[in-house]
Amino acid sequence: MSALEPPRDFLVEIGTEELPPKALGRLEGALRDALVEGLAQAGLHHGEVDSFATPRRLAVRVRELAARQPEHTVERKGPAVQAAFDADGRPTKAALGFARSCGVEVTDLERIQTDKGERLLYRAVRPGRPAMELLPGLVNESLGRLPIPKRMRWGEGDVEFARPVHWLVMLYGTVVVEAGVLGVHAGRQTRGHRFHHPGPIALETPADYESRLRDPGRVLASRSERARRIREQVEARAAEVGGRALIDPDLLDEVTALVEWPVALAAHFETRFLEVPPEVLITTMQDNQKYFPVVDAEGQLMPHFVAVANIDSREPERVREGNERVIRPRFQDAQFFWDQDRKTPLVARRPKLAEVIFQEKLGTLLDKSDRLMVLAAHIAAALDEDATLARRAGELAKCDLLTDMVYEFPSLQGVMGRYYALHDGEPEEVAWALEEQYQPRGGRAPLPAHATGRVLALADRLDTLVGIFAAGIRPSGLKDPFGLRRAALGVLRILIEGRLDLDLEALLEAAAERFPAALDAHAVVGEVFDYCLERLRAYYADQGIPVESIEAVAARRPTRPLDFDRRLQAVETFRRLVEATALAAANKRIRNILRKAPPAEHGTEVDPARLSEPAERALWEALQAARAEVEPLFSAGEYAAGLERLAGLRAAVDRFFDEVLVMAEEEAVRRNRLALLTALAELFLQVADISRLPGGVP
């Protein structure tokens, strides 16, 4: 190819057996990103990059890819000129060898002046390599970097990939890139829908890709387009039966990864199944069958669902009947579990918790339930809530794990506990607590809405955190089998967002009380608290709060998360004041001065009689006035108002550092000035260490 050859579009498509649906989006993005990174490293300039993924293919199209790398200058330094030539000016073996290694004559070499004297230099301008030569290696390298946990082998070769590969398209403009990838030779023929158009489809250029797959191939190559088409069709089918579809984002992603030509169909199930809790039916439809449930205007489940087929059948009624036939036995099983489980009260299942190990060193689920009864009652009392209800909730907390329904649908733990508790005649507050003990179920998921639910959710997580740490199991890297990160974040969210002003360290100590003395759970309380503090840093960082503000508060180690939150919000308000930067810098300076002063001179008592300079007297008076105003505010937790008042000290602080020599020669004067600075710093430290905030040392 000529260096002047214009850029062309490039397309690579890997055709496979059906790829894992839950990994399809990740594989698509990883292939696109890896190829873009490879092109950048190779110096191949390009335009827009599109990626595509269906159950049977991964593809990337690169617009206006440069025909070759840009030319580049190669430089190599050789031996010193003094060593390169003898006294008569003839080249030595060093010069001849260097020239030979560069493929030129000695006379073609240049000279360059360096800090070690004059040296020989080889300089040449080399043309870039053609894209056609580089693309096979770039594609192979990109595929090798895909996040595929389990790779498969097929046939007699040793090639490995997520699924067997059947075809490969690699086009640069109209030209096929000569390459062998994953055991398949590149061509220009893709394939259409497995049933509608199983034969090959020739592509003239990369620009043809989407249109040729759509017609005649009956394949929508774009994942986003398929998702949009599915959503539109599902909503339309639900409206046709007078309802609204529940479209879970994860389910939509999965269905999108299961079909190439989506066709949505509304189907029906028998109304008698609506006697079963709707969560059970919805879980069955979504998790097991990949169907979209339909609800009415009030949000009540209707006896309809929407299925998405991967075929445009000439007999859609038979497809509909097939889906209805498949769901019926699953609903029958659910109805059987529902009827059978209600024959045995939850409390009657409790003794069998002794047969289920929670953790080897921590005992059984019955042991955990016993601990939850006491801890939940303790927390309820601290919050002036009903301790009797909390104790009962702890007693029943894990009983639904032994029901047939939860055994079949583990994601319904707690939900079924609520239904069965209500059926048994338990108080509604207790019933809701059985479900809400698992809330929040994720980072931004809803918190428990009932008081006893909040109490039980805290007790369950605190027991797990202390117990698992005491058992010697800490999260490491990606390993967190007991979900301690999620448990810690859940505790923090309930305390902060639920506005529960409880001492986390004291709660952890209370949890440690319930374990056998031999486990020495109290010994890990500090470690668990620090672990929660780390999660708190991440919690606020996710909200966009600067790390300096978080660290300023964390340095004071408040043990009540709600108090931590109030301090942090106050620091964020303080940071926006015009005086904040100067006062942060002044606090840094104070810290440095105190750090360098001999420990014997770190007094805290200021002798007003020894304040001889006007500037230090002015600072002392301003400090005394501020202290009288802010200490009641700090005691009441009104940190923002207190810090705003302390901002008024800026002028006095600036004047002090401008006019006063802290490290005076006279020891008594020096001690007094250090005590004055200590008093100033400690006043701010009642909220946070603002020396950690941005601000240059004055």
Please say if the pLDDT value at position 2 is more than 70: no
How many CB atoms lie under 10 A from the CB of residue 351? 11
Asked whether residue 388 is domain-assigned, the answer is yes
The CATH number for 498's domain is 1.10.3210
- Among 326-330, 440-444, 686-690, the minimum mean pLDDT is found in 440-444
Instruction: Evaluate if pTM is beyond 0.85.
Output: no
Backbone angles phi, psi at 64, to 5 degrees: 50, 55
Same domain, residue pair 207 and 229: no
Same domain, residue pair 527 and 633: no
pLDDT at residue 306, rounded to an integer: 98
281 touches 248 (CB < 8 A): no
185/177 Cα distance (integer angstroms): 10
Give the residue from 398, 433, 402, 403 showing the smallest Cα distance to 418. 433
Partners of residue 122 on adjacent β-strands: 76
- 144-154 per-position pLDDT tens digit: 999 998 899 98
Q: Which amino acid is at 247?
A: I
Same domain, residue pair 488 and 458: yes
Give the residue from 408, 415, 425, 424 showing the smallest Cα distance to 342. 424
| Tally of helices (H runs) and strands (E runs) in the chain | 26, 20
| E-state strands within 467-623 | none
- 320-364 per-position pLDDT tens digit: 999 999 999 999 999 999 999 999 999 999 999 999 999 999 999
| E-state strands within 250-352 | 263-268, 292-295, 301-309
Of the candidates 285, 311, 341, which is a domain's last residue? Answer: 341
* Secondary structure letter of residue 476 according to DSSP: B
**pLDDT, mean of residues 110-129:** 88
Same domain, residue pair 267 and 380: no
Asked whether residue 83 is domain-assigned, the answer is yes
How many CB atoms lie under 10 A from the CB of residue 635? 10
pLDDT at residue 71, rounded to an integer: 82
pLDDT at residue 70, rounded to an integer: 87
pLDDT at residue 349, rounded to an integer: 97
- 531-588 per-position pLDDT tens digit: 999 999 999 999 999 999 999 999 999 999 999 999 999 999 999 888 888 888 888 8
Please say if the pLDDT value at position 692 is more than 70: yes
Of the candidates 170, 191, 214, which is a domain's last residue? Answer: 214
92/74 Cα distance (integer angstroms): 24
71/38 Cα distance (integer angstroms): 18
pLDDT at residue 256, rounded to an integer: 98
Please say if the pLDDT value at position 371 is more than 70: yes
Give the residue from 422, 413, 414, 419 showing the smallest Cα distance to 277. 419
pLDDT band at residue 259 using 50, 70 and 90 as cut-offs = very high
Same domain, residue pair 480 and 453: yes
Asked whether residue 1 is domain-assigned, the answer is no
pLDDT band at residue 477 using 50, 70 and 90 as cut-offs = confident
Same domain, residue pair 246 and 200: no
pLDDT at residue 429, rounded to an integer: 97
Q: Residues of 446-474 as b/e, b for ≥16 C-beta within 10 angstroms? A: ebbebbbbbbbbbbbbbbbbbbbbbbebe
pLDDT band at residue 602 using 50, 70 and 90 as cut-offs = low
Please say if the pLDDT value at position 698 is more than 50: no
Dihedral of CA atoms 351, 352, 356, 361 in degrees, nearest 10, equals 20
**For the chain, how many structural domains are there in total?**
5
Ranked by mean pLDDT, the top range of 487-501, 612-626, 652-666 is 487-501
Asked whether residue 567 is domain-assigned, the answer is no
How many CB atoms lie under 10 A from the CB of residue 180? 12
- Among 132-141, 558-567, 590-599, 630-639, the minimum mean pLDDT is found in 590-599
Q: Which amino acid is at 138?
A: L
Same domain, residue pair 33 and 105: no
H/E stretch holding 54 reads: strand 49-54
Asked whether residue 428 is domain-assigned, the answer is yes
Asked whether residue 297 is domain-assigned, the answer is yes
Asked whether residue 347 is domain-assigned, the answer is no
Percent of the chain residues topping a pLDDT of 90: 79
Of the candidates 181, 214, 247, which is a domain's last residue? Answer: 214
Give the residue from 195, 205, 209 showing the smallest Cα distance to 172. 205
489 touches 531 (CB < 8 A): no
pLDDT at residue 72, rounded to an integer: 76
Backbone angles phi, psi at 614, to 5 degrees: -55, -40
218/233 Cα distance (integer angstroms): 17
The CATH number for 625's domain is 1.10.730
Same domain, residue pair 359 and 400: yes
Same domain, residue pair 376 and 436: yes
Same domain, residue pair 58 and 77: no
Q: Which amino acid is at 427?
A: P
- Biggest distance spanned by C-alpha atoms of the chain: 111
Domain range for 244: 223-341
279 touches 301 (CB < 8 A): no
Give the residue from 223, 188, 233 showing the smallest Cα distance to 207. 188
Burial grade of 430 (CB within 10 A; 0-12, 13-18, 19 or more): buried
**pLDDT, mean of residues 136-142:** 95
- 181-215 per-position pLDDT tens digit: 999 999 999 999 999 999 999 999 999 999 999 99
Lookup result for tokens 């105190």: 594
Asked whether residue 349 is domain-assigned, the answer is no
Mean pLDDT of the chain: 93
Same domain, residue pair 378 and 444: yes
254/35 Cα distance (integer angstroms): 25
pLDDT at residue 607, rounded to an integer: 87
264 touches 234 (CB < 8 A): yes
**pLDDT, mean of residues 5-16:** 96
Please say if the pLDDT value at position 4 is more than 70: no
Which distant-in-sequence residues (6+ apart) come within 8 Å of 335 by Cβ? 272, 273, 275, 276
Burial grade of 326 (CB within 10 A; 0-12, 13-18, 19 or more): middle
Lookup result for tokens 């603002």: 690
629/648 Cα distance (integer angstroms): 12
Same domain, residue pair 373 and 517: yes
pLDDT at residue 513, rounded to an integer: 95
Q: Which amino acid is at 147?
A: P
Tokens of 333: 């099983």
pLDDT band at residue 697 using 50, 70 and 90 as cut-offs = very low
